[in-house]
Amino acid sequence: MSEFEPKIVAFVCNWCTYAGADLAGTSRTKYASNVRIVRFPCTGRIDFMLLMKAFENGADGVIVSGCHPNDCHYTSGNFHARRRWIVFRSLLDFIGFDTDRITFSWVSAAEGNKWASLVNEVTDKMKAKGPFTDLDKLDCSKLKQLHDETITE
Amino acid sequence: MARIGVFICHCGENISATVDVEKVAREAEKLSGVGYAMDYKYMCSDPGQTKIIEAIKEHNLTGIVVGSCSPRMHEATFRKVAEKAGINPYLCEIANIREQVSWVHPKSDATTQKAIDIVRTLVQKVKRDSALFPIKVPVTKTALVVGGGIAGIQAALDIANAGHQVILVEKSPSIGGHMSQLSETFPTLDCSQCILTPRMVEVAQHPNITLHTYAEVESVSGFVGNFDVKVRLKARSVDLSKCTGCGTCWEKCPNKKIPDEFNAGLSFRTAIYTPFPQAVPNKPVIDREHCTWFLKGKCGLCAKNCPTGAINYDTQDEFIDLKVGAIVAATGFDIKHTDFFPEYGYGQFKDVIDGLQFERLASASGPTGGEIRRPSDGEIPEKIVFLACSGSRDKAKGIEYCSKICCMYTAKHAMLYKHKHHEGNAYIFYMDIRSAGKNYDEFVRRAVEEDDVHYIRGRVSRIYEKNGKLIVKGVDTLMNAEPIEIEADMVVLATAVVANQDAESVAQKMHISYDKHHFFAEAHPKLRPVETNTAGIMLAGACQTAKDIPDTVSQASAAASKVIGLFSADEMTREPVIAVVNRMMPPQFTTCTGCLLCMEVCPYHAIEREEIKDRRTGEILKVAAKVNAGLCQGCGTCVAFCRNKSIDLQGFSNQQMLSEVMALLNKPF
């Protein structure tokens, strides 16, 4: 059996982390190919429900990364993201979601190596954890029934 | 129906060495909505671009995805290509398969798969792209400069000399600022007024500059290119058109015991006064807080004696509305005064003075005519102790930063004293000597080597009075931390440079962000040091941080060049990647509920409250958010905050981001 290859979705800002990932490329730093980047203008733009959508549709791990505090291209977007993450994390904790599957990080445009090691770290961690199946275990039949009823009405 | 073209670049071998580019193109062709796919060795080359243009025309494509290097590299290139072929440039997306695929992964199926995933994602995104058009904003080619110190003067002159109208607003009765108070300037020992006053006169006489002294900015609204500014012209009580500046009024004024701000409190002025003899405009103003007429309703001597009848006690504050395209904030700084230092006597020892007071003593136009005499008894001090870093770099006093100018001006003060009084002794207590700057270190060396100024590395713990002398208790850290005591005749504190007392309210009025010390914040500390986060508002001088004159003038010219750049076209073009609030048919108008959470979080104050009214009755039907396209920078913070997704970011819409996530995971959407 081949080794489990986790799917990792990275939500990154355009100005720091996306540029950092580009720098990893220009410096030819090799890292795991499990990651797929979604480019946002700013981490402040990231709607955290998208993270849930990613998990719902087969992601095994998620990275959120933007500019370091005080370095935001838009002054304060990363602070908003950080606050939102703190609140969101406690909500996820409360409902029993495995918050270890989400990694929140800062990677600047100068940190190509940090980006590479971040991706490797998260990939290894998700390999160790195995596929994400928590949502599959949920019994959503009642919810689905409710949903279908609302639609037909 | 979308017909997307996919163009995969080999980038020589940069991509094709590890990614099976032909397979990526073949797979892309199978995607729904894709009308054409190809791969080519150099997509960005001239023949590559021609191939894209031909394909767009031949296959009637509605959008393109270019699988190549990073969008940071060639997005602009390929958008131009799309435009040349007749499709909207914002219907072009770049799949980054070089920096984020071929260069970071080895040749393998997984690598090719990643490239395919990325291309699929961008195909989904481009399908939901809408045509965007650069936003054209008209520019009012008049600049407002706030603050008439050397920063404001320099910025105003530079902008005016480039042929644009400038309105200069200064809150005190004369322009000139702190520089007009200085004696001589380091490192050349030029007389400050000699180099400044010609500039002040130039401002007053410049055909492109309108000068409003004794005036303050009340409010700023609008956005880059189109600011609406309300300015309060404070009641001067003197008709400037009639006044000749003869001086009869202040000679007759009986109220002669008001501390003179220009001389830093070392002398007195009258209630009707001009701040200093070279003031621009050189016409008096009545200080209503101290004038007997305004306090007791009688006197009127100045009005009785004025030969031209220029004095009018009934004038009121006036407001004027200005339309300007750009604003330069040059509101300057203040210093801490001696009362900030309990350890040095809370400002109660008359002969413990601050640096600005020493400047006035050393200045030929000062209260002593340039002779350095003690404020207490007018004697010439035999021994002066200067304390650098008074308050600066002192966390306990809440000022962690270096005030930058004190090392240099303290050396200058000691030098000036020694030049005027060769037998005197000058001691300087310092922490470090920071004299980086053209000819700066040479200047300090001169103070030590030629003028015999004694530098003592250490702090002073206490100053107290004993037998008419000031006892300075300090420590010399270069002499085994030995305590030393100096009996001084005068002590000069190089007190910390701080923001103006009203800096916070000024910043709020002008929508400038500021730091915890109330210094104004630049847009980027390194790459955009003269712009603020509010487009169209620039910074000059010490309102941003402590600065010496050369730095202030450089920044003022830089701010002016930014304004001139802005004024170089009649319209300015802005990226259309901005947020929009949805609008629909009545009676709903919009899904926005008007909670205005977006307004709170917007770092650019780009969101306004909009009242949707019945056209006939004027009745308010709904309150909603509205994005000001001139101010929005497209960060999207509002979009993530919006509770019911009524606000969206063009180019990074909710639909697009969701479709990207779904496509990455190869799920239908």
Residue B669 located in a structural domain: no
Question: Taking CB atoms and an 8 Å limit, are B665 and A74 in contact across chains?
Answer: no
Cβ of residue B378 closer than 8 Å to a chain A Cβ: no
Encoded tokens for B89: 């440039």
* B221 and B362 fall within a common domain: no
Mean pLDDT score of chain B: 94
Residue A3 located in a structural domain: no
Q: Per-residue pLDDT averaged across B569-595, rounded?
A: 91
* B17 and B84 fall within a common domain: yes
Q: B96-118 pLDDT, tens per residue?
A: 999 999 999 999 999 999 999 99
Q: How many domains does chain B have?
A: 5
Residues of B in contact with A46 (CB under 8 A): 640
Q: B529-554 pLDDT, tens per residue?
A: 999 878 899 999 999 999 999 999 99
| pLDDT at residue A29 tops 80 | yes
* B489 and B504 fall within a common domain: no
- Cis peptide bond upstream of B187, omega within 30: yes
Q: B605-643 pLDDT, tens per residue?
A: 899 999 999 989 999 999 999 999 888 989 999 999 999
Query: What's the sign of the alpha-carbon dihedral B334, B340, B345, B348?
Result: positive
* Domain residue limits at B118: 4-127
Question: Taking CB atoms and an 8 Å limit, are A80 and B640 in contact across chains?
Answer: yes
Q: Report pLDDT for A1.
A: 47
CA distance B516 to B523: 16
Question: Taking CB atoms and an 8 Å limit, are A45 and B637 in contact across chains?
Answer: yes
Share of chain B above pLDDT 90, in %: 89
Q: B68-80 pLDDT, tens per residue?
A: 999 988 999 999 9
CATH number of the domain residue A84 falls in: 3.40.50
Which of B517, B519, B505, B513 lies closest to B534, judged by CA? Answer: B513
| pLDDT at residue A153 tops 60 | no
Cβ of residue A59 closer than 8 Å to a chain B Cβ: yes
CATH number of the domain residue B594 falls in: 3.30.70.3270
Q: Find, in chain B, the residue whose alpha carbon is nearest to that of A6.
A: B665
Q: How far is CA B376 from CA B350, B387, B471, B490, in A?
A: 6, 19, 16, 10
Q: Per-residue pLDDT averaged across B193-212, rounded?
A: 96
For the whole model, what pTM was predicted?
0.76
Q: Report pLDDT for B567.
A: 96
SS3 readout for B245-266: CCCHHHHHCCCCCEECCCCCCC
Cβ of residue A54 closer than 8 Å to a chain B Cβ: yes
CA distance B302 to B299: 8
Q: Report pLDDT for B172.
A: 96
CATH number of the domain residue B414 falls in: 3.50.50.60
| pLDDT at residue A152 tops 70 | no
* B627 and B537 fall within a common domain: no
| Sheet order of strands, A35-40 included | A35-40, A8-13, A61-66, A102-106
CA distance B49 to B61: 15
Please, which pLDDT band fits residue B139 given cuts at 50, 70 and 90?
very high
Residues of B in contact with A21 (CB under 8 A): 99-100
Q: Per-residue pLDDT averaged across B402-408, rounded?
A: 96
Residues β-bridged to residue B65: B6, B93
* B362 and B380 fall within a common domain: yes
Pick B604 or A137 by higher pLDDT.
B604
CA distance B547 to chain A (A): 23
Q: B284-327 pLDDT, tens per residue?
A: 999 999 999 999 988 999 999 999 999 999 999 999 999 999 99
Q: What is the CA radius of gyration of chain B?
A: 33
Q: Which amino acid appears at position B3 of this protein?
A: R
Torsion angle in degrees (nearest 10) through CA of B251, B255, B261, B266: 90
Pick B398 or B668 by higher pLDDT.
B398
Residue A2 located in a structural domain: no
Task: Cite the DSSP H helix spans in B586-643.
Answer: 597-601, 637-641
Bridge-based pairing of strands B497-499 and B490-495 is unpaired
CA distance B603 to chain A (A): 7
* B491 and B507 fall within a common domain: no
Please say whether the beta carbons of B2 and B93 come within 8 A.
Answer: no
- Give A68's DSSP letter: P
* Domain residue limits at A100: 8-152
Q: A63-100 pLDDT, tens per residue?
A: 999 999 888 888 789 999 999 999 999 999 998 899 99
Share of chain B above pLDDT 70, in %: 100
Q: Do you know the residue count of chain B?
A: 669
* B122 and B83 fall within a common domain: yes
Taking residue B591's Cβ as centre, other Cβ atoms within 10 Å add up to: 15
| pLDDT at residue A2 tops 80 | no
Non-local (6+) Cβ contacts of B38 within 8 A are B6, B7, B8, B25, B51, B55
Torsion angle in degrees (nearest 10) through CA of B253, B254, B257, B258: -40
Q: B438-497 pLDDT, tens per residue?
A: 999 999 999 999 999 999 999 999 999 999 999 999 999 998 899 999 999 999 999 999
Cβ of residue A22 closer than 8 Å to a chain B Cβ: yes
